[in-house]
């Protein structure tokens, strides 16, 4: 099968032409496998798609058009009303996000105690210090004042989680810059819960070049140079 090890980008599938050579053609959205309700996604056109296969197949068919360039995965789940993010809320957002990233790393660390493989040895040694230090804060939602006070008092405990998340996203390619598609896995899963994340990332891009550099990312989270 010529298509066996032939890779096509999202929205395209391998097709063998008359000469027997594999090539990529647009996925027919109607031919996508059926999905469950929880697999639905919302596009930036505010339209609900049955899944990412249907969304990216549609985007591929619109290739070369303005509509195609503007169509991206907005967030996971069916489209719904996303409330406006106020100035106050966007100011508070980094506090919750920093705490959330730190908690994710600590959950990975706890799982590694039973089954290794979530973190590398180098990552584990960094997170161990954060884990031991964080026993001060009881798990769960924390008041903004507590998060702000803890960030000021234990600043060094928040630096690594912010760096770690950037490098987790910076994969295609690894160039210390985050594109829209590299941000999508994090952003798309959080939008329904954190309606300020879109505005937060837009304002992170200080030079408006549609890329978030490591320096811009850290500045957004209050991490010093």
Query: 216: domain CATH number?
Result: 1.10.238.10
Looking at the structure, tell me whether residues 150 and 174 fall in a common domain: yes
What is the model's pLDDT at position 136? 61
Looking at the structure, tell me whether residues 39 and 92 fall in a common domain: no
Has residue 117 been placed in a domain? yes
Looking at the structure, tell me whether residues 210 and 104 fall in a common domain: yes
Residues 144 and 105: their CA atoms lie apart, in Å, by 21
Looking at the structure, tell me whether residues 198 and 121 fall in a common domain: yes
Whether the per-residue pLDDT at 119 is higher than 60: the answer is yes
Q: From the centroid of its chain, how far is CA 34?
A: 25
- The total domain count for the chain is 2
Under 8 Å between Cβ of 4 and 43: no
What is the model's pLDDT at position 138? 58
Mean residue pLDDT across the chain? 90
Residues 66 and 116: their CA atoms lie apart, in Å, by 46
Domain span at 72: 12-76
Beta bridge partners, 207, equal: none
Percentage of the chain modeled with pLDDT above 90: 61
- Tokens 């320096």, located at residue: 215
pTM comes to: 0.77
The pLDDT confidence band at residue 130, using thresholds 50, 70 and 90, is: confident
Residues 222 and 90: their CA atoms lie apart, in Å, by 13
Percentage of the chain modeled with pLDDT above 70: 96
In terms of DSSP bridges, do strands 12-16 and 177-178 run parallel, antiparallel, or are they unpaired?
unpaired
Highest mean pLDDT: which of 107-121, 174-188, 205-219? 205-219
Looking at the structure, tell me whether residues 113 and 53 fall in a common domain: no
Looking at the structure, tell me whether residues 96 and 195 fall in a common domain: yes
- How many residues belong to the chain? 225
Has residue 203 been placed in a domain? yes
Q: What is the mean pLDDT of residues 169-192?
A: 91
Has residue 22 been placed in a domain? yes
Domain stop point among 33, 54, 76: 76
Looking at the structure, tell me whether residues 67 and 91 fall in a common domain: no
Whether the per-residue pLDDT at 21 is higher than 60: the answer is yes
Looking at the structure, tell me whether residues 112 and 157 fall in a common domain: yes
Has residue 139 been placed in a domain? yes
Has residue 3 been placed in a domain? no
The pLDDT confidence band at residue 137, using thresholds 50, 70 and 90, is: low
Q: What is the mean pLDDT of residues 183-211?
A: 92
CATH code for the domain of 34: 3.30.60.30
Looking at the structure, tell me whether residues 102 and 30 fall in a common domain: no
Looking at the structure, tell me whether residues 115 and 166 fall in a common domain: yes
Q: What is the mean pLDDT of residues 172-188?
A: 91
Domain stop point among 54, 76, 98: 76
Has residue 200 been placed in a domain? yes
CA angle 86, 91, 92 (to 5 degrees): 100
Under 8 Å between Cβ of 104 and 76: no
What is the model's pLDDT at position 145? 84
Has residue 4 been placed in a domain? no
Looking at the structure, tell me whether residues 55 and 127 fall in a common domain: no
Has residue 2 been placed in a domain? no
Give residue-wise pLDDT tens across range 25-57: 999 999 999 999 889 999 999 999 999 999 999
Q: CB 6: neighbour CB atoms within 10 A? A: 15
Whether the per-residue pLDDT at 116 is higher than 80: the answer is no
φ/ψ of 167, rounded to 5, equals -70, -25
CA angle 171, 173, 176 (to 5 degrees): 80
Looking at the structure, tell me whether residues 45 and 114 fall in a common domain: no
Whether the per-residue pLDDT at 139 is higher than 60: the answer is no
Whether the per-residue pLDDT at 94 is higher than 70: the answer is yes
Instruction: Compute the chain's Rg from CA coordinates.
Output: 20
The pLDDT confidence band at residue 213, using thresholds 50, 70 and 90, is: very high
- Name the nearest CA neighbour of 194 among 89, 54, 52, 67: 89
């Amino acid at each position: 099968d010529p298509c066996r090890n032939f890779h096509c980008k999202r929205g395209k599938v391998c097709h063998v032409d008359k000469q027997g050579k594999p090539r990529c053609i647009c996925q027919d959205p109607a031919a996508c496998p059926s999905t469950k309700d929880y697999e639905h996604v919302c596009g930036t056109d505010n339209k609900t798609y049955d899944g990412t296969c249907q969304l990216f197949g549609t985007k591929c068919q619109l290739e070369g058009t303005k509509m195609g360039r503007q169509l991206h995965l907005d967030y996971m789940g069916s489209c719904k009303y996303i409330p406006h993010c106020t100035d106050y809320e966007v100011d508070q957002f980094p506090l919750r996000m920093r705490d959330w990233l730190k908690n994710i790393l600590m959950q990975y660390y706890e799982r590694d105690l039973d089954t290794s493989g979530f973190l590398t040895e180098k990552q584990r040694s960094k997170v161990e210090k954060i884990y031991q230090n964080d026993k001060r804060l009881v798990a769960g939602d924390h008041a903004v004042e507590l998060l702000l006070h803890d960030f000021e008092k234990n600043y060094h405990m928040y630096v690594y989680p912010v760096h770690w998340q950037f490098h987790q996203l910076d994969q295609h390619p690894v160039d210390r810059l985050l594109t829209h598609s590299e941000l999508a896995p994090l952003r798309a899963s959080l939008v329904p819960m954190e309606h300020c994340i879109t505005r937060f990332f837009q304002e992170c891009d200080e030079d408006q070049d549609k890329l978030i550099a490591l320096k811009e990312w850290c500045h957004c989270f209050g991490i010093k140079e």
